[in-house]
Chains A and B, each alone.
Chain A
Amino acid sequence: MRKNMLLAGIGLLVSAVPVYADHLVAIAGPMTGQYASAGDQIRKGAELAIADINAKGGVLGQKIKLEVGDDACDPKQAVSVANAMVNKKIVFMHGHWCSSSTIPASDVYNEAQIPMATVSTNPQVTERGLKNIFRIMGRDDQQGAVAGNYLADTFKGKKIAVVDDKSAYGKGLADEIAKALQAKGAKPALRESITAGEKDYSGLVSKLKSAGVEVMAYGGYHTEVALILRQAQQAGLKLTVMGGDTMTNTELVTAAGPASDNVLFTFSPDPRKNPAAADVVKKFRDAKVEPEGYVMYAYAAMQLFAQATEQAKSVKYADLEKAMRSGSFDTVIGKLSFDAKGDNKLPGFMVYQWKGGKYDYVAK
């Protein structure tokens, strides 16, 4: 027994001695596959942040090094990536991107005691009582409430349909929008689901047309919205779409053409408008990276890590976790602080609109 204790003690000592000269941090997300553009944004944001932090001398006198994991938004691969990352002894994870990857992977990080900051919006991400997870993005239920309330107020008396693409993200968002509409007495005229990845949504369009729907709240990704808009136009239906944060993707504009001006969506306050972030935005643009979508969030996640580490004076899980939960951090997306579940306390969502290939807060 005593021998065991001794061994354990030695083990502890050994593990306390830093093996790596650098602090390893990681990002994980869909670097390949259908949603590769989101992974690309995360990577670009994280790379610049780490360059900036290292230029200022790193954290605790050591440089940060980035590991990149590709889960292709496949839950099975996400667990593999998580195990690989744990094995590389990372001290912080920013990811994953798809909620269905974040959820199984977070179990692994939790077990290995690695703190993580994610942009996944599914409520389940922080509802499972894991202590290591911090969400730097809003939740689908907040998002849905903002979108639903806006629709109910702005399009009073018009027929509103709520549609989703049967993904975890899309259905969650659509359900929350429908709930918010109900609460305001604007019962959705239609509640439908489609299958993502198809090309033909003429059935849905006909149904919307025959029900006299003018506004469609959509939970899902931008690709389908572009197709629905095109097909609605072809069928002579003028449709306004309200979507979620995935609508920030410029592919929507390329694919839907001018009809994209009819797209409203909810997204966290645009970090590019944050005066404190002006320097960083400029830096990105100088590097020919438009700091759209998740770029600034990845930057902020790395800032969160650097500042929490400095506050805790340690990269050990217990210290970091405590620092993150209790502290407050100045990042490019605003002042971050977290509640007991790990959700952030930033003001949630704004309503945006696409106009001529750029998005901005909707004109009141």
Chain B
Amino acid sequence: MNVVKNKKWESGKCMALALQQLINGLTLGAVYGLIAIGYTMVYGIIGMINFAHGDIYMVSAFIAVSAFTLLASLGITSVPLALLTVLLLSVLFTSVYGWAVERTAYRPLRGSTRLAPLISAIGMSIFLQNMVQLTQGARVKPIPPVVVGGFDLYASEGFTVHLAYSQLLIVIVTVALMAAFSYVIGKTSFGRQQRACEQDPTMTALLGINVDRTISLTFMLGATLAAVAGVLVTVYYGVVDFYIGFVAGIKAFTAAVLGGIGSMPGAMLGGLLIGLVEAFWAAYLSPEYKDVATFSILILVLMFRPSGLLGRPEVEKV
């Protein structure tokens, strides 16, 4: 008797839990996706894994914390105004970081071996982490909740599915950003130059396009997306520390490869997939093995689709 009742009770709740995790997973995945695009763009244009990209995102989160605190001390209480200001500030400064990282650590290595920039990137990642630790302190940095409240979507047997406004914000900003981004890549002259550089940098240079500048802009654009992700994460979780770049970086890089490195829709898809896998695995199966699940899926996908989900299938050029 008891058991039967329990079962029924569980099934309604199960639905609610699934819905809740769908929301949580999509939110998390959107953030991964935004960071992953930075990896994918840089890989597309110069064929290197920019290991410092996760740390660029971390830098932007710290900038956001400073900016939020500054605004609060200036007495700016309007949430949309504060958000917009912080986004702009963070994007501005973070893109300078993106530019400077490429200029100092990668450009001198252009045209050398494939691994040299990779090691330089690892060095840059260590540098940025420790730089932030030194200048901003090793302690976690919290901000008071910025966007509070949310909707209760659906209630079942004591479990309410809750969609926080901050989650909604993340999804809306991500969608808007993706739309703007496809426009930039697809329709503007920068986008054409960027795609041309991806295909054949030598030929692009011969056509009188400044390849260096295009690459710099690509890094800045990637940093912009990371900056937005950093601000969103600061708003959503409210806590940042100098180590977040590494964890998010590995996940986002995995997302980029899963989606097919070089493909921007692929990066977003990969990010969402990993976010969902993590959310559902954590809720239904053992959260201890969550990372094993993520990587196993990656490995399985690569076995059967060696260039990722949306990557161009590569015919071996002989």
Contacts and interface: CB of A to CB of B under 8 A. Distances in A.
Interface of A: 32-34, 36-37, 166, 192-195, 197-200, 202-204, 206-207, 209-210, 212, 223, 226-227, 230-231, 234-236, 251, 254-257
23 contacts: A32-B133, A34-B243, A37-B138, A192-B287, A193-B288, A195-B287, A195-B291, A203-B24, A203-B282, A204-B287, A206-B17, A206-B24, A206-B283, A209-B159, A210-B13, A223-B140, A227-B239, A230-B145, A230-B239, A234-B145, A234-B162, A235-B20, A255-B142
B28 A202 contact: yes
B221 to A, nearest CB: 24
Nearest to B159: A210
B196 to A, nearest CB: 38
A256 B133 CA distance: 21
Contacts of B162: 234-236
Contacts of A226: 140, 142, 239
Contacts of B17: 206-207, 210
Interface in B189-238: 233, 237-238
A32 B137 CA distance: 10
Interface of B: 13, 16-17, 20-21, 24, 27-28, 133, 138-140, 142, 144-145, 150, 152, 158-160, 162, 164, 166, 233, 237-239, 241, 243-244, 247-248, 278-279, 281-283, 286-288, 290-291
A257 B287 contact: no
A192 B282 CA distance: 10
A155 B11 CA distance: 28
Q: Could you say which of B233, B279, B282 has the most chain A C-beta atoms within 10 Å of its C-beta? A: B282
Contacts of B159: 209-210
A220 B136 CA distance: 24
A352 B150 CA distance: 33
Contact of A257 (B142, B233, B291): B142
A193 B292 CA distance: 14
B277 to A, nearest CB: 11
A66 B247 CA distance: 37
A330 to B, nearest CB: 34
A203 B243 contact: no
Given A199-B244, A257-B144, A231 B287 contact: no
A9 B283 CA distance: 68
A227 B21 contact: no
Given A200-B278, A209-B20, A235-B20, 13 more contacts: A193-B286, A195-B291, A197-B247, A202-B279, A206-B17, A206-B21, A212-B158, A227-B239, A234-B166, A236-B152, A251-B139, A255-B140, A257-B145
A35 B247 CA distance: 17
Contacts of A198: 247
A256 B287 CA distance: 23
Given A204-B287, A235-B162, A255 B28 contact: no
A195 B250 CA distance: 14
Given A195-B290, A226-B140, A226-B142, A202 B241 contact: no
A212 B158 CA distance: 8
Q: Could you say which of B21, B28, B140, B160 has the most chain A C-beta atoms within 10 Å of its C-beta? A: B140
Contacts of A223: 140, 239, 241
Main secondary structure of the interface of A (DSSP, over half): helix
B288 A230 contact: no
Nearest to A227: B239
Contacts of A34: 138, 241, 243
A235 B282 CA distance: 16
A36 B140 CA distance: 11
A193 B281 CA distance: 13
Given A204-B282, A255-B140, A210 B16 contact: yes
Nearest to B244: A199
Given A206-B20, A223-B140, A236 B160 contact: yes
Contact of B142 (A203, A207, A212, A254): A254
B142 A36 contact: no
Contacts of B150: 234
Given A37-B139, A206-B20, A212-B158, A199 B233 contact: yes
Contacts of A256: 142
A235 B28 CA distance: 15
Contacts of A255: 140, 142, 238-239
Shortest beta-carbon contacts, A-B, top 10: A203-B282, A202-B24, A255-B142, A193-B288, A36-B138, A210-B17, A199-B237, A203-B283, A206-B20, A255-B239
A254 B238 CA distance: 11
Contacts of B160: 236
A251 B239 CA distance: 11
A166 B237 contact: no
A237 B145 CA distance: 16
A231 B237 contact: yes
B282 A207 contact: yes
A355 B24 CA distance: 31
Given A33-B138, A197-B247, A227-B239, A203 B278 contact: yes
Nearest to B286: A193
A227 B166 CA distance: 15
Q: Could you say which of A194, A198, A199, A226 has the most chain B C-beta atoms within 10 Å of its C-beta? A: A199
B23 to A, nearest CB: 9
A199 B251 CA distance: 12
Contacts of A200: 24, 28, 237, 278
A234 B152 CA distance: 11
B166 A203 contact: no
Nearest to A203: B282
Nearest to B165: A234
B279 to A, nearest CB: 6
Contacts of B282: 203-204, 207
A199 B138 contact: no
